[in-house]
Amino acid sequence: MSSGRVLVVDDEPQIRRVMRTTLSASGYEVSDVRSGEEALQRLQSEDFDVVLLDSNMPGLGGLETCRAIREGRGESIPAIIMLTVRSAETDKVQALDAGADDYVTKPFSTPELLARIRAALRRAPAGPAALPQRISLEELEIDFGSRQVEVRGRAARLTPKEFDLLRFMVSHRNRVLAHREILQAIWGPDYGDQVEYLRVFVNQLRKKIEIQPTRPRHILTEPWVGYRFQARQQD
């Protein structure tokens, strides 16, 4: 049984062959293309569970391709993982800012890649607090069943990981959540120390759901500890 469909986007034929062999052996159904332009064309007609996207390609680069995927089909691509030869923190932040769910630095091991895929596809539990089908929080409307979010009546397009993060924080609303607790709940037990990683996702989420992202009313920072989702639910 297939573990899911993966699209490999890389301009190097050898890497595509290795990835196809590795992922197929692990139960994934694999397709590959050699450019960002080809990836966008393929995604117009086929559905995939995860996109492995090389950051350094001729023509349409990895970051531009990632942004285009998110703008065109943000909610229907469960996971985008950037493959990068750059290990600098700024490059990783750029990948996450572009809409990637994760990144892997080349060269990487097979177990690491498979772990990152599992983490990116992971669906986090909502948490202990009971959540209704739909919740109204001042200007914010969240439909948990359809995974839709509206801010002042306008749809906010969240990536799957962004929505999982929002749902987890809302389910623990008005309680301080430590960085490690959030990371391990959303991405899995292998995560916990990537505070900068989480900060990027929180900033992206604030841009989408807060009226003034630099002065948030809902997603509040607890210095040196984590975050708290402040909520005053509407009747």
pLDDT above 70 coverage of the chain, percent:
91
Q: Which of 88, 121, 154 finishes a domain?
A: 121
20 or 88, which is more confident?
A: 20
Give the model's pLDDT for residue 104. 87
Do 112 and 197 sit in the same domain of this protein?
A: no
Give the model's pLDDT for residue 235. 41
Distance (Å, whole) CA 196 – CA 203:
11
Do 95 and 57 sit in the same domain of this protein?
A: yes
Do 109 and 176 sit in the same domain of this protein?
A: no
Number of structural domains the chain divides into? 2
- DSSP letters of 60-90? S-HHHHHHHHHHHHTTT--EEEEEES---HH
pLDDT tens figures, 69-121: 988 765 567 789 999 887 667 777 788 888 888 888 888 888 989 988 988 88
Instruction: Work out the average pLDDT over 151-165.
Output: 89
- Residue 58 near residue 81, CB atoms below 8 Å: no
Give the model's pLDDT for residue 229. 95
pLDDT tens figures, 114-148: 988 988 887 766 555 556 788 888 889 999 888 88
Which helix H or strand E contains 204, and what residues bound it? helix 195-209
Q: Which of 94, 121, 148 finishes a domain?
A: 121
pLDDT tens figures, 201-211: 999 899 999 99
| pLDDT above 80 for 59 | yes
**Residue 219 is assigned to a structural domain of this protein:** yes
Q: At 66, which CATH number? A: 3.40.50.2300
Could you list the residue range(s) of the whole structural domain that residue 24 is in?
4-121
State the average pLDDT for the chain: 87
Do 47 and 144 sit in the same domain of this protein?
A: no
Give the model's pLDDT for residue 144. 87
The reported pTM is: 0.80
**Residue 234 is assigned to a structural domain of this protein:** no
Residue type, 142: I
pLDDT tens figures, 34-54: 999 999 999 988 989 999 999
**Residue 163 is assigned to a structural domain of this protein:** yes
